[in-house]
A and B are shown apart, each in its own frame.
Chain A
């Protein structure tokens, strides 16, 4: 029975990892940018939810929606002000230097963490749970009430995001730009708008992940660091640029961590992610769903 419970707990955590990973993989897919400030979208969502719900006392759906909006808005501003100038200066997309984006987004991450510390204070904020039910019990399986509700909500959102990417008009544009940015622009796709859309989607999902987890984790300036690191592992595991890979990768990582921490040692819980990272890079560098060569 414990095995089932570990799987369930792992899958729930995996949903949140996947919400983080899918945004990161999309950004890499269309811009080839390694976005180091992704964890801060998580942090912004966590703070927004906690402040609006706990301090202002507004209804929880409004707090959740606000977290998504603030996270998405922040990501769009970042794209417009910091990322777009990096690639617009190059006539040929291939000339863009990756290290610029790494330095800019790494600096942005540090800036946002310190800004949160300065303006919101270093104290942890605790967000209210989505349900008053402390825990659900199915036979011997116990799972926290908020954890289950948040996990199910996250699963729904992930399904919606996947549908949007695979089936919607805008999603097809995203995939077209990811396959060949130049070709997509010749076909009439506004690649700049698509880039902004991807950042918006990525920021919104990461912020929602933070908002859903803040009743369990607490909001504080560096709360996004660990989830961001995990999402890098997920992206490598699932295959860079693959949304489905990010979802599967997130779920696999969640379950492996759950089992490893229980049966091996909790002390190595975060180590499992990096063992997976090294193993994937050695054995299957393109990841589970990635392509060996992306350029068309």
Chain B
């Protein structure tokens, strides 16, 4: 029988308690303290994007690809002799998931900047967190004006915004002959509602003779037939679609099913930049023919050396034409890297100051941020955009018909019906 010393027996629990106490204190300290990136290790950058439904997964995938390409390009030379390291969280396109994703990235991973978000409702939830932690937040693709109007110094917007999109679409619409009525269908999100309302405001001011109405559709809905029947009954001269996939694809197919488009009587104007998504032609057929698309990239656009590199890398890695989201994502990471380089550190205040005064050649132009309050706050005002028309089934982006761009008059003659 094994004998146990009464002294040892008495000491053992005390020792165990002490060890447990030290371990608990260590864990508590580790849990409470924000992790700090090692000064000589990789620089952690957080990405919050959609990787699973109900959000726009295809957008998330393109944004991720753009960041991965940019990361590899930047890491060839490094930043402050360190490499960029990306940490990805899935926001599912749900605001509360996005909020917890960026909390996790900041608190647990210790990221020095955030990037990647592409859905406005999620951006609006995430920027509060970035603001609270004073972490630079690069808005990769959230178009809602409210993201800018919040006025957070941590938030930078190297992409387009709703009222500018509405203005661009409105300019093109106003020049089309015979447009007397427009019916817009927008998803019930901050982006969709905002863009539909901004388009209405623009038309009321610049083309008051055009009767404009919009309906809000649930992005998780699957059958839009009743609203399409309403449109068929009203016979508007133009339908404007402001939705993201997969609901956008379903809507476009159901417009074609009811014979609304393509037709000689009704134009379809797509305002979400869907055409360059890799799965577009797998999911949308006849309704895309003769549709006018708004987008932020077209092969005819001039690209910088960085932009050409991003495009070539994309073609090599993914065997397809990059969408605008790839360039937007690459620009987002390039801006963060350049801010760290200018600041000489990953300190939040120093990076924000660097970004506020930055002048950087991105993929599609020189990026600077406005300091005008409101919708232009920390916005790249000269974001390039393009409108083009698809004229054939399975047409490639480079073969579409160029319609308009900033400073270029709408090429009405080029439009087919």
Q: Which residues of A contact B (CB under 8 A)?
A: 2, 5-6, 9, 13, 117, 122-126, 134-135, 142, 144-147, 213, 216-218, 220-223, 225-226, 257-258, 261-262, 266-267, 269-270
Q: Which of B53, B215, B226 contacts A220 (CB 8 A)?
A: B53
In the assembled complex, which residues on chain A have CB atoms less than 8 Å from the CB atom of B218? 267, 269-270
- Can you sample 16 A-B contacts with CB below 8 Å? A2-B233, A6-B226, A9-B225, A122-B51, A124-B249, A124-B279, A213-B222, A216-B222, A216-B223, A223-B222, A226-B220, A262-B226, A262-B229, A266-B224, A270-B218, A270-B221
Separation of A269 and B215 alpha carbons in the complex (Å): 12
A-B contacts counted at CB < 8 A amount to: 94
B221 with A269: CB separation less than 8 A: yes
Q: Are B250 and A216 in contact (CB under 8 A)?
A: yes
Is A126's CB under 8 angstroms from B249's CB?
yes
Interchain CB contact (< 8 A) of B54 among A146, A222, A257: A222
Interface residue? B259 (CB, 8 A): yes
Of B53, B258, B283, the most chain A CB neighbours within 10 A belong to B53
Among B57, B217, B232, B283, point to the contact of A266 (Cβ < 8 A): B217
Inter-chain contact B258/A126, CB cutoff 8 Å? no
**Which chain B residue shows the least CB distance to A215?**
B253
Judge whether A218 and B250 touch: CB under 8 Å: yes
- Across the interface, do B222 and A147 meet the contact criterion of CB distance under 8 Å? no
B223 touches A267 (CB 8 A): no
Q: Pick from A126, A217, A266, A267: contact of B222, CB below 8 A.
A: A217
In the complex the two chains form, what is the Cα distance from A223 to B258 in whole Å? 22
Contact between chains at A13 and B249 (CB < 8 Å): no
In the complex, what residues of B have CB within 8 A of residue A258's CB? Answer: 225-226
- Give every chain B residue within 8 A of A217 (Cβ-Cβ): 222-223, 250
Q: Return chain B residues, CB-CB under 8 Å to A146.
A: 257
Chain B hits for A220, CB < 8 A: 53, 246
Q: Nearest chain-A residue to B277 (Cβ)?
A: A123
**A259: nearest residue on chain B (CB-CB)?**
B226
Counting CB contacts under 8 A, is B58 at the interface?
Answer: yes
Q: Mark B204-228, 1 if CB is under 8 A from A, else 0.
A: 0000000000011110111111110
* In the bound complex, CA of A213 to CA of B221 (Å): 13
Contacts of A2 in B (CB 8 A): 229, 233
Interface centre among B51, B58, B188, B221 (most CB of A within 10 A): B221
**Chain A residues with Cβ under 8 A from B254's Cβ?**
144, 216
A122 touches B57 (CB 8 A): yes
Task: Give the nearest-CB partner of B226 in chain A.
Answer: A261
In the complex, whether B256 has a CB less than 8 A from a CB of chain A is yes
A-B pairs with lowest CB-CB distance, top 9: A261-B226, A144-B257, A122-B57, A124-B246, A266-B227, A217-B222, A262-B226, A126-B283, A222-B53
Contact-residue bracket for chain B: 35 or more
Looking across the interface, which residue of chain B has its beta carbon closest to that of A144? B257
Is B282 in the interface zone, CB < 8 Å from A? Answer: yes
What chain B residues lie within 8 Å of A226 (beta carbons)? 220-222
B226-A266 in contact (CB<8A): yes
Beyond the given A218-B283, A222-B220, please list 7 additional residue pairs across the A-B interface where CB-CB is below 8 A.
A9-B226, A13-B225, A123-B57, A124-B283, A135-B257, A266-B226, A267-B216
Which residues on the B side are within 8 Å of A13 (C-beta)?
223, 225
Bound: A32/B69 CA distance, A: 54
Chain B residues lying within 8 Å of A123, measured Cβ to Cβ, are 57-58, 279
Q: Does B286 contact A (CB under 8 A)?
A: yes
A residues within 8 A CB of B246?
124, 218, 220
Alpha-carbon distance between A213 and B257 when the two chains are bound, in angstroms: 14
B256 adjacent to A6 (CB under 8 Å): no
Output the residue of A146, A217, A225 with the most chain B CB within 10 A. Answer: A217
Q: How far is the CA of A142 from the CA of B188 in the complex (A)?
A: 28
Most chain A Cβ neighbours within 10 Å, of B52, B216, B218, B232: B52
Q: What is the CA–CA distance of A266 and B185 in the complex, to the nearest angstrom?
A: 11
Residues on the B chain within 8 Å of A124, using CB: 245-246, 249, 279, 283
A-chain residues with CB within 8 Å of residue B249 when the two chains form the complex: 124, 126, 218
In the complex the two chains form, is B53's CB within 8 Å of A221's CB?
yes
Tell whether B3 is near chain A: CB-to-CB under 8 Å: no
Query: Which residues of B6-58 are within 8 A (CB) of A?
Result: 51-54, 57-58
B53–A117 CB distance below 8 A: yes
- CB pair B258–A144 under 8 Å, yes or no, is yes
Q: Say how far A229's CB is from chain B's closest CB, in angstroms.
A: 11
* Residue B230, interface by CB 8 Å: yes
Q: What chain A residues lie within 8 Å of B222 (beta carbons)?
A: 213, 216-217, 223, 226
Is A126 touching B282 in the complex (CB atoms < 8 A)?
A: yes
User: Given contacts A216-B223, A220-B246, A269-B226, are A134 and B215 in contact (CB under 8 A)?
Assistant: no
A100 to B401, CA, bound (A): 59
| Contact for B229 among A6, A126, A135, A270, CB less than 8 A | A6
Report Cα–Cα, A266/B227, bound state, in Å: 6
Q: Give Cα A124 to B279, complex, Å.
A: 8
Tell me whether B257 and A147 are in contact (CB under 8 A). yes
- Give, as a whole number of angstroms, the nearest-CB distance from B97 to chain A: 14
Query: Nearest B residue to A145 by beta-carbon distance?
Result: B257
List, in ascending order, chain A residues with CB within 8 A of B221's CB.
226, 269-270
What's the Cα separation between A147 and B188 when bound, in Å? 26
Which residues of A sit under 8 angstroms from B259, Cβ to Cβ? Answer: 134-135, 142
Interface centre among A122, A257, A261, A269 (most CB of B within 10 A): A122
Q: What is the CA–CA distance of A273 and B119 in the complex, to the nearest angstrom?
A: 29
Contact B53 A142 (CB under 8 A): no
Q: Which residues of A contact B54 (CB under 8 A)?
A: 222
CB distance from A259 to the nearest CB of B (A): 8
Beta-carbon nearest neighbor of B232 in chain A: A142
- Given that A217-B222, A221-B52 are known contacts, is A267 also in contact with B215, CB under 8 Å in the complex? yes
Q: Which residue of A lies closest to B245 (CB)?
A: A124
Shortest CB distance B351–A (Å): 33
Whole-angstrom distance from the CB of A265 to the nearest CB of chain B?
8
- What is the distance, in angstroms, from B245's C-beta to the closest C-beta of chain A? 7
Contacting residues, chain A, for B232 (C-beta < 8 A)? 142
Q: Does B188 contact A267, Cβ atoms closer than 8 Å?
A: yes
CB distance from B130 to the nearest CB of A (A): 26
Contact across chains for A9 and B250 when beta carbons are under 8 A apart:
no
